[in-house]
Amino acid sequence: MNTRWLQLRMFSSLPEMPATNFIASPYKGTDYETIKLSRMTKVTPSQRPFYKKPLLIHEGHGQWLWDHTGRRYLDMFGGIVTISVGHSHPKITDIAVKQMSKLCHTTSIYMHPKYHEYVDKLTAKLPDKLNTVYLVNSGSEANELAFLMSRLYTGAQAIVSLRNCYHGGSYATAVATAMSTWKYPMAQPSGYIHVTNPDVYRGSWGGSQCRDCPISKSRRTCECIGQRCIASEKYVDDLHQVFRYTLPTNGQIAGFIAESIQGVGGVVQYPRTYLQQVYNLVKSKGGLCIADEVQTGFGRTGDNYWGFEGHNIVPDIVTLAKGIGNGFPLGAVVTTKEIADCLNKALHFNTFGGNPLACAVGTAVLDIIDEEKLQENSKIVGTHMLHRLSTLMLEYPTIIGDIRGKGLMIGVELVDDPDTKEAMSADNVAEIFEDIKDMGVLVGKGGINGNILRIKPPMCVTKEDVDFTVEVINTALKKYRNSHIEDKESVYFSGV
């Protein structure tokens, strides 16, 4: 038993991990140290391991992962919000094997039935006007193609995105991304505008009641008047001013892109009516509205199949990836035929986009979400988790600054000072993060300071899994408080 495990036991009894009937196979691959050395010397240096002692994962099933020693972990991050229906789902495995044995690749220069069967099933989930699909391999590809369409269709160049957003790592999408942690010191192409992020926790305006979140925990007074969101109006007015001083005299933009809930940025939710008003403003400037559903799509937010539906908006272009293929490389751009026709001005082609194997897997994912009622599960289990986490905010008022999200897209913001909202230091977050892992739960990190726990598991998780996760986080926070904060909370409560 390692020292960290002993330290955890000193502060509280460890919660018991939920049982599973699945038995993982023994690991028989290359030894851990050899793989670790290879990772450190041969893999891109920027791809840093998540933990001080990197995990070597070799098998997964449902919401569970096993490392090379046979130790089991509850995956509450879903391979960065990518495993939507569960690791190694038997239906996907069966369909993928059958398709590979028949036809794996042709490129889309030929017709094959799986492409058209998949597109029909996918567009049936979307508003009627969004009926034309380009299949690609990733979210970055999807967003870059959306930018190209917007510029070709409108004749304008400016792509508008929110600060704190992440839209991909390719050359064009990295410029639209507005987080310094993802920026390299090099010249960037023109034609991109970053505008104020309407973050009701860290921004200039708003309170938690502005958000579409099942819980309302905030130390900030909300200015909303009935159904009227004052914060939305102020953020939209700020956008008006940006356009007034930034755009050329004709005032036209090519497109506005936003996630329905910011993912990498730390599960940031906007004021309820913000996107409605922004879409109207963008259209008045001749621009197209792009909904980045890479993380919020396919039922993850619970109430709706697509995150944008929760904002009562219909975008001109929707970009999809991650959960669309449950880990298989697949992405999509869905738009109107009129917009899609702009690509006829030249040739556009994607070698692997829409290959038979990807389409077979994508179809299986759609079927599983419906058959296993995973959207409904996201709402029920996610809401349960938010309520359980809200009790931790009361328990640790000097550590947890904010809890937010909906469905199975949840963020827990860790702070060093709840009044100034100073982000918890990287070293302290790493300590809590490591303790959570050592107790058998894998979560993510987000935000420009890396101080937000991102909880976005496979949508098959249960309330029992959630209860275990909350108890693990509770234990990690209790250890941190006892070893770091001492009398800070008593001072906070006394108002000194």
The CATH code of the domain at 3-88+374-486 is 3.90.1150.10
Q: Which of 150, 160, 146 is nearest to 191 (CA)?
A: 160
| Structural contact between residues 126 and 318, judged by C-beta atoms closer than 8 angstroms | yes
pLDDT surpasses 50 at 496? no
Which residues, in sequence order, are bridge partners of residue 133? Answer: 334
Is residue 462 left, alpha or beta, with left meaning phi > 0 and alpha meaning psi from -120 to 50? beta
pLDDT surpasses 90 at 487? no
Q: What pLDDT was estimated at residue 218?
A: 65
Which residues, in sequence order, are bridge partners of residue 227? Answer: none
Mean pLDDT of the chain: 92
Place of tokens 């009926």: 131
| Structural domain boundaries in the chain | 3-88+374-486, 90-371
Q: For 403, phi and psi rounded to 5 degrees?
A: -130, 130
Q: Which of 391, 374, 369 is nearest to 462 (CA)?
A: 374
Residues 6+ apart with CB under 8 A from 163: 178, 179, 194, 195, 196, 197
88-120 pLDDT tens trace: 999 999 999 999 999 999 888 889 999 999 999
Domain at 90-371: CATH architecture: 3-Layer(aba) Sandwich (3.40)
Q: What pLDDT was estimated at residue 1?
A: 47
308-333 pLDDT tens trace: 999 999 999 999 999 999 999 999 99
392-444 pLDDT tens trace: 999 999 999 999 999 999 999 999 999 999 999 999 999 999 999 999 999 99
11-24 pLDDT tens trace: 557 889 999 999 99
pLDDT average, residue stretch 241-246: 92
Of the two residues 291 and 493, the one the predictor is more confident about is 291
Q: What angle do CA 364, 366, 369 make, to 5 degrees?
A: 105
Residue ranges of alpha helices (H) inside 219-289 are 230-246, 274-284
> How far out from the chain centre does Cα 59 lie?
23
pLDDT average, residue stretch 352-370: 97
Q: What pLDDT was estimated at residue 219?
A: 67
pLDDT average, residue stretch 207-226: 80
